[in-house]
Chains A and B, each alone.
Chain A
Amino acid sequence: MATTTTAITAVAANDTLVRPSRSLWSNAWWKIRHDRLTVGAFFVLIVLGLLSASADFLAQNLFNYTFEKQDLLATYTAPTTANPAYLLGTDDLGRSQIVRLLYGGRVSLSVGFVAALVNLTIGIVIGLAAGYFRGWVDDLITWFITTLQSIPTLFLLLIIASIWEPGPVTLTIVIGALFWTGICLYCRGQTFALREREFVIAAKTIGARDRRIMFNHILPNILPLIFVLAAIDIGAIILAESALSFLGLGILPPTPSWGNMLTGAVGNLVRGPWLVYPPGAMIFLTVLCLYLIGDGLRDALDPRVRSHAG
């Protein structure tokens, strides 16, 4: 073993044209590191995540304010640097906007990521099954997806939310269960093509079971672009959740979410215009970062993009 390695190194050293071979992942990693926009977006997203995660700590130690604390003597305080808790002003009940913004981030981000995990799981499993087994399984799944895509998602979400009035956890699962069709269709299409390839036939020949072929052989081949779709899905889910919470049907007060903070802002456009900007700007920033990461990952991972890029 050791001798072969040295032999190869020796050959490589002699021949300046030979480079160490790169895997898809190391290639992608190299590309992403040199893509400043994607790195920036990652950085911003991590900072947002850390800030939301430390909401409790910051609220207690820096702002001395809890998210539900009301101060009726300090309603509609315009943003001021005099008191850290009033950095973004207060609302009609004298609640600190910056503290609520931190907690809102915690809710919005966790809903986005957990729901995306749910839709990834459903989408991958069902997509693999449809593409691999074909026949009536595929017909049934395709029919279900076409049906689901023909009902405006927000209508469906609105109606489910208004009828069942789900709590945050149920809501997250419901959103995840409604957004899986895109990932599922992608997995299905890829599996369709891959199951005819030699390595799948080889695996079958040596007696691998269906589950093993699907998850150990086919899945790793379609995984890279699933990350791209996942990043974009998280963004779309955060947008949908915020719209639903804004309508008063998603995350319900007193738990702050970026969406329901804006519901409060609507009634106070004249007295507290500063209430409008921060929550929406945070949604915008988060979703923007996720979409940029999605784009960056696609550039790095999609072999077709690589050949087109001039």
Chain B
Amino acid sequence: MRTFILRRLAYAIPTLLGISIITFVIVHLAPGDPIRLYTFGSRATNEDIEALRHVYGLDQPLPIQYVNWMWKVLHLDFGQSFIYHQDAAALFIQYIPNSLQLTVVALALQLLIGVPLGVIAALKRGTWADGAIRVFGVMGHAVPAFWLGLVLILFFAVQLRWLPSQGLLTVGKDVWDIPDRVRHMLLPAFVLSLTGIANYSRLLRTETLEVLSQDFVRTAHAKGLRERTVMFVHALRNALIPVVTALGGILAGLIGGALVIETVFSWPGIGRFTFQEAIAKDYPVIQAAVLIASVLLVISYIIRDVAYALVDPRIAVK
């Protein structure tokens, strides 16, 4: 198990290297000169611009800039934001807790709703319940999440006035006012979790059907175990293994999906922040954002693989 974890960690190194190169290259191939952009309209002379360019190290060849940048990044220094003149990584990191709240709640909703739906569909195969769950599974995939968010805002916030349409909590309320926070979280968390619910319900349906057709389930039936024991002790435990694998894709979906959902619901998280900074072309922050979000994703992939090896020991052996 330890060798497996170590090997898995070693595999992440080239990936991280690749991510850093892509992040660096994208921003540096950008047309337009950030220094000229930010001195535009000011009385900066050409010498001033050259001096600024030297300060930011933009006068050196690209590979050297990359190595310099990488060296700083390894010391968690992404440089200063062009706009806020603050540490780029710190700016980004302060939004992580807000996004994490939303992501964790959405993930919990996915598991708590998606998994039972899939199992029920498999057990009631061919009935109207199965049909309804399958239709829901396809529809949950196909619905544009941001549009669903808008429709829900229109319905619950604008017309019924039951729920707030945006933000983390009501302005002026106490930070620990839990009911208020829950009310703000309901709509975005539901919209964010929808794709995952659909995913899990489809996955669990196929898996449960697959497991139920296997020999050990037939044996369990044959030796006279009760239906409930067969289902929960024998079948379900095996059907749940792929849930762990699906986690990786779901996390990627959550981080990516949060970008749009956070913007729709004005949720002050990493997605909305990255969007605003991308619009403003604040390169150091953009680099920090892509790199940190990707590293989070790589870490969650590693956790997924280790968890998978824990529940299914055959994997670690390979």
Interface residues of A (CB under 8 A from B): 143-144, 146-156, 158-160, 162-164, 235, 239, 242-243, 246-249, 262, 265-266, 269-270, 273, 276-277, 279-280, 283-284, 287-288, 290-292, 295, 308
Contacts and interface: CB of A to CB of B under 8 A. Distances in A.
B230 interface: no
B260 A246 contact: yes
B256 A288 contact: no
Most buried by B among A144, A154, A270, A287: A154
B144 A239 contact: yes
A252 to B, nearest CB: 13
B62 to A, nearest CB: 16
Contacts of B263: 247
Contacts of B209: 308
B19 A151 contact: yes
B30 interface: yes
Given A159-B286, A163-B26, A288-B138, A144 B18 contact: yes
A243 B138 CA distance: 19
B247 interface: no
Contact of A150 (B147, B154, B158, B294): B294
B252 interface: yes
Given A153-B252, A158-B274, 9 more contacts: A156-B290, A159-B278, A163-B27, A163-B30, A246-B146, A247-B275, A273-B158, A283-B144, A295-B138
A144 B274 CA distance: 24
Contacts of A148: 22
Given A155-B293, A239-B144, A277 B151 contact: yes
B289 to A, nearest CB: 7
Given A151-B19, A152-B294, A280 B147 contact: yes
B290 A280 contact: no
B142 A154 contact: no
Interface string B282-296: 000010011001100
Contact of B30 (A164, A269, A288, A308): A164
B14 A284 contact: no
A155 B147 contact: no
B229 interface: no
A266 B149 CA distance: 11
A148 B298 CA distance: 11
Interface residues of B, number: 50
A84 to B, nearest CB: 25
B256 A291 contact: no
Contacts of A162: 278-279, 281
Given A155-B289, A162-B279, A287 B144 contact: yes
Given A147-B18, A152-B294, A152-B297, A242 B158 contact: no
10 contacts: A146-B18, A148-B22, A150-B301, A151-B294, A154-B256, A154-B259, A159-B278, A243-B146, A247-B260, A276-B151
* Interface SS of chain A: helix
B203 interface: no
B138 A292 contact: yes
A298 B292 CA distance: 37
B143 interface: yes
B150 A265 contact: yes
A149 B252 contact: yes
Most buried by A among B31, B143, B301: B143
Nearest to B31: A164
B138 A154 contact: no
B256 A153 contact: yes
Contacts of A287: 141-144
Most buried by A among B30, B263, B278: B278
B238 to A, nearest CB: 17
A33 to B, nearest CB: 21
A79 to B, nearest CB: 15
Contacts of A146: 14-15, 18
Interface string B252-263: 100111011001
Contacts of B286: 159, 163
Contacts of A246: 146-147, 260
B151 A280 contact: yes
A150 B144 contact: no
* Smallest CB-CB A-B distances: 7 pairs: A280-B147, A147-B18, A162-B278, A154-B256, A288-B142, A287-B142, A152-B256
